[in-house]
Amino acid sequence: MAFALIATGVTVTKFNVAPRVIRPLVRAQIHRAGVRLLPMIGFLGCALGLIIIGQTVSLLTQIGAHTLIGTLMVTVVIRELGPLLTAVVVLARVGAATVIELGTSRAQGEVEALEALGIDPVHYLVVPRMWGLAVSVFALTIYFVLVALLSGYLFAFLQDVPLPPSEYFHQLAAALRWEDFAMLTLKTAAFGIIIAVVCCYQGLAKPLRIEDVPNATTRAVVSSVVACVAVDAVFIVAYLLI
């Protein structure tokens, strides 16, 4: 918690400090955590749509509850599975690599070298990752949701489900509320920041030996998953209270 507050404070107080240095680092993190994961996220979104959503749509149609398809899609894909699965993928691909990278740098004395040069390690190493992962998780979630919804309808269409595309998208639009867009933005940004802060903390908080890096990586992954699930539960409660 203290590390998170420090990182947030540095982000706010040094927002316009060395922008020519920080902005390229943020773009690099977005490319690393976002662009490179597009194929994997696309595959997972398609798999979710084909395996889960398509089957559910078929079942609802068979029992005469096809009018609930839009609500189901919004609830399952947009509100829950989309953001959470995307965050888990980013954590597995980028979060673990971040701990290894920063932990190895700390073990080899590179972080202390930055401090000796008068460079704030939090500003240089943590803040770009916070911004980069927040943007990446949000953008990847939008991509994941679109692929899942389209592939789900494609699967239902191939099964001869009597649901015209116009009716399908009309149900989706009717089920969406402005709270869904707000919650999706806040939730995905929170997931990205949590992953960045937890992984950076495990890599930088204390001096590590090279052999300690795998244990720090495991702690970071477990802690990030628990924190993301807890935050997701908070958002669910907040949504129900709105």
Give the gyration radius of the chain's Cα atoms: 20
For 170-212, the DSSP string reads HHHHHH--HHHHHHHHHHHHHHHHHHHHHHHHHHHSS---GGG
pLDDT score of 242 more than 80: no
Q: What are phi and psi of 134, to 5 degrees?
A: -60, -45
34-71: per-residue pLDDT in tens? 888 999 999 999 988 888 776 777 677 677 777 777 77
Closest CA to 199 of 109, 120, 93, 119: 93
CB atoms within 10 A of CB 165: 10
From first CA to last CA, the distance across the chain in angstroms is 27
Portion of the chain with pLDDT greater than 70, in percent: 90
Q: Which residues contact 191 (CB under 8 A, 6 or more apart)?
A: 83, 84, 86, 87, 90, 137, 228, 231
Residue 7 above 80 pLDDT?
Answer: no
Sequence ranges of the domains in the chain: 19-241
Q: What is the mean pLDDT of residues 128-145?
A: 93
Residue the block writes with tokens 């203290």: 2
Q: Which pair of structure tokens corresponds to residue 216?
A: 């720090």
pLDDT above 90 covers a percentage of the chain that reads 26
Count the neighbouring beta carbons within 10 Å of the beta carbon of residue 166. Answer: 8
Residue 215 has pLDDT above 90, yes or no: no
Task: Pick from 6-20, 26-40, 54-68, 162-176 the range whose average pLDDT is largest.
Answer: 26-40
pLDDT at site 1: 63
Mean pLDDT of the chain: 84
Span 72-129, pLDDT tens digits: 888 888 888 899 999 999 998 888 888 888 888 887 777 788 878 877 888 888 889 9
**Entry pTM:** 0.89
The stretch 147-154 carries a mean pLDDT of: 86
| Predicted local confidence at residue 178, as pLDDT | 85
And the tokens for 135?
Answer: 């943007």
Longest dimension (CA), the chain: 69
Cα–Cα distance measured from residue 209 to residue 47, given in angstroms and rounded to the nearest whole number:
40
